[in-house]
């Protein structure tokens, strides 16, 4: 089969995979090499649905011996099967990179013959890239569960970032839907990577995972608890959440008519962000066994439930307090801190600084003045917020849904 057809099939099967970020790596310029990572990641194009394309995201093959019922490539599904050769994939990557189409490679794969056989093919492709073409750019490799320790270690040496999909926050769901995977088999690659990266001689490697949302009954509380624990154990830099898109009529799964829970996915990303960068704990954001509020973003929902901390005087608040104000992000907080070291800030000054007050105004005072609602109750604030939300254009919502993840 020709390379055109292969690429079409193997790109198509990988496109719902959410992670596409190339950010977070350090600049690693090497003289005489091809490729250099960029700290903040670079979007190279945008698809007609408005998502950023940063990496050549493909499956090595869609052959698979596993029969995970939520997956389109499951062994029992009747679809066309193809595989790249390591050389084909390496050539594709290099030539795309040289033309500045992409930031690097995101390689994932179905399991052909057995785990180690597949892993060896992936390693072969990476070796051609790294040693033969001296490619120094970004490579994200999804490790194959149950592959042998030796191969996992080898793969980790070649990649910039590795990941292993946990798929579901509970072993019960995993057992039900992905009988050949176990909690141990998906966690082991990550543990190995962590161990390796702690050795001094090694470059630090960054790791991520993916969980499928809405295919199983776990609540957002359980999902965020799992993510938080992984972050605390320093096992992961990043968790991706993927709204389940129905692919079969299996009795254990939501019916094929179910719409993917995109809003829920978006809320999970927002909450995850708050946990990683804003100092929130998962149990502050969502109550035991509950889901996140769909109407308000997690920070606003938290603030409405904790009005006792508000309004916050922006001229006195610490950075930690400032970033907990709905509508004020890390950048906004830095601007405020910088500006207020010269003079006290009122609402006019905040506006001039370009601080968005649409949401924040309900939760702050500036020079003692409050400009929000007449009665400082959660209900009245929620009502005003809802009214202003309704006026927003719908594509702003989409932008937050599909920006670079």
Partner 1 sequence: MVVSFDGSFEGFLTLIYESYYQKFKASKITTDKVELLLTQDIIKINSDAQKAKKVYLSMKKKFTKKGFKRVAHCFLSKKDDFYLPLYEYILLGFKDCQNLENINIQSVQKVHEIEKKVFRSLHKAYGFTRFVELDDGTMYAKVKLEFYLLPLLANHFRKRLNSCNFIIHDVEAKMVAWHKDKKLEFFNVDSFDAPPLSKDEEKFSRLWKLFFESVSIESRKNEKLQKKMLPLFYREFMTEFH
Could you list the residues that contact partner 1 (CB under 8 A)? Answer: 3-4, 7-8, 11-12, 14-16, 27, 29-36, 38, 40, 42-53, 56-57, 92, 95-96, 98-101, 134, 137, 335, 338-339, 342-343, 345, 349, 352-353, 395, 398-399, 402
Closest to partner 1 by CB, 130 or 335: 335
CB of 228 to partner 1, least distance (A): 30
- Tell me the closest approach of the beta carbon of residue 345 to partner 1, in angstroms: 8
Q: How far is the CB of 169 from partner 1 (least distance, A)?
A: 26
Q: How many helices (H) and strands (E) does the chain have?
A: 15, 11
d(CA 172, CA 349): 54
Which tokens sit at 304? Answer: 């409405």
Q: State how far the Cα of 110 lies from the Cα of 114, in Å rounded to an integer.
A: 10
Cβ proximity of 209 and 187 under 8 Å: no
Q: In the complex with partner 1, which residue's Cβ is closer, 94 or 196?
A: 94
Min dist. Cβ of residue 40 to partner 1 (A): 8
Separation of first and last alpha carbons in the chain: 33
**325 DSSP assignment:** S
The full DSSP string for 27-91 is P---TT-B----TT----EE-TT--EE-EEEEESB---S---TT-TT-TTS-----B--HHHHHH
Distance in Å, CB of 242 to partner 1, minimum: 13
Q: Using CA atoms, how far apart are residues 178 and 183, in angstroms rounded to an integer?
A: 10
Smallest gap, in angstroms, from Cβ of residue 71 to partner 1? 18
Q: Whose Cβ is closer to partner 1: residue 48's or residue 199's? A: 48
Task: Identify which of residues 134 and 319 has a Cβ nearer to partner 1 in the complex.
Answer: 134
Closer CB to partner 1, residue 9 or residue 64? 9
- Where helices occur in 199-356 by DSSP H, the ranges are 220-232, 262-277, 282-285, 298-305, 319-322, 330-340, 347-352
Question: Whose Cβ is closer to partner 1: residue 38's or residue 154's?
Answer: 38
| Cβ proximity to partner 1, 62 vs 173, nearer residue | 62
Shortest reach from residue 359's CB to partner 1, in Å: 21
| Alpha-carbon 2 to chain mean position | 33
**DSSP letter, residue 61:** B
* Minimum gap (Å) between residue 15 Cβ and partner 1: 4
Minimum distance, C-beta of residue 133 to partner 1, in the bound complex (Å): 9
- Integer Cα distance of 170 and 174 in angstroms: 7
Helix (H) or strand (E) holding 88: helix 86-98
**Sheet containing strand 206-213, strands side by side:** 55-59, 104-108, 138-142, 161-163, 206-213, 238-243
User: Which residue lies nearer to partner 1 by CB, 8 or 290?
Assistant: 8
**In terms of CB distance, is 3 or 198 closer to partner 1?**
3
**Cα atoms in the 13 Å half-sphere on the side-chain side of 212:** 25
The size of the chain, in residues, is: 405
Min CB(195)–partner 1 separation in Å: 32
Rounded distance, CA 313 to CA 306, Å? 16
Q: Which is nearer to partner 1, 36 or 79 (CB)?
A: 36
For residue 290, give the nearest of 219, 380, 193 by alpha carbon.
Answer: 219
Is the distance from CB of 156 to CB of 163 less than 8 angstroms? no
CB 44 within 8 A of CB 101: yes
């Amino acid at each position: 089969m020709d390379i055109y057809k292969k690429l079409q099939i193997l790109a198509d099967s990988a496109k719902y995979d959410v992670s596409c970020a190339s950010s977070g790596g350090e600049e690693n310029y090497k003289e005489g090499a091809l490729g250099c990572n960029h700290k903040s990641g670079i979007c190279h194009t945008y698809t007609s649905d408005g998502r950023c394309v940063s990496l050549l995201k493909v499956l090595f093959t869609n052959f698979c011996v596993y029969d995970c019922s939520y997956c389109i490539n499951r062994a029992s599904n009747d679809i066309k099967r193809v595989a790249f050769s390591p050389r084909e994939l390496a050539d594709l990557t290099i030539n795309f990179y040289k033309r500045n189409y992409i930031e690097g490679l995101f390689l994932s794969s179905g399991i052909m013959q057995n785990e180690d056989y597949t892993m060896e093919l992936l390693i072969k492709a990476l070796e051609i890239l790294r040693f033969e073409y001296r490619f120094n750019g970004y490579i994200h490799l999804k490790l194959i569960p149950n592959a042998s320790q030796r191969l996992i270690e080898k793969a980790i040496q070649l990649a910039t970032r590795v990941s292993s999909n946990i798929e579901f926050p509970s072993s019960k769901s995993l057992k039900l839907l992905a009988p050949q995977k176990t909690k141990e088999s998906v966690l082991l690659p990550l543990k190995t990577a962590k161990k390796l990266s702690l050795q001094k001689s090694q470059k630090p490697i960054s790791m991520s995972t993916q969980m499928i949302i809405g295919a199983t009954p776990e609540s957002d509380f359980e999902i965020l608890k799992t993510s938080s624990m992984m972050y605390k154990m320093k096992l992961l830099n990043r968790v991706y959440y993927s709204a389940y898109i129905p692919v079969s009529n299996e009795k254990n799964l939501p019916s094929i008519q179910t719409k993917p829970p995109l809003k829920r996915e978006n809320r999970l990303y927002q909450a995850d962000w708050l946990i990683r960068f804003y100092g929130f704990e998962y149990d502050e954001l969502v109550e035991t066994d509950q889901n996140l509020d769909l109407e308000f973003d997690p920070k606003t929902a938290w603030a409405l439930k904790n009005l006792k901390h508000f309004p916050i005087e922006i001229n006195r608040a610490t950075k930690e307090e400032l970033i907990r104000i709905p509508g004020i992000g890390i950048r906004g907080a830095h601007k405020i801190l910088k500006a207020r070291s010269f003079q006290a800030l009122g609402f006019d000054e905040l506006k001039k600084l370009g601080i968005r007050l649409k949401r924040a105004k309900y939760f702050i005072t500036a020079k003692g003045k409050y400009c929000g609602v007449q009665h400082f109750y959660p209900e009245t604030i929620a009502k005003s917020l809802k009214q202003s939300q309704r006026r927003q254009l719908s594509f702003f919502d989409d932008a937050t849904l599909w920006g670079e993840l």
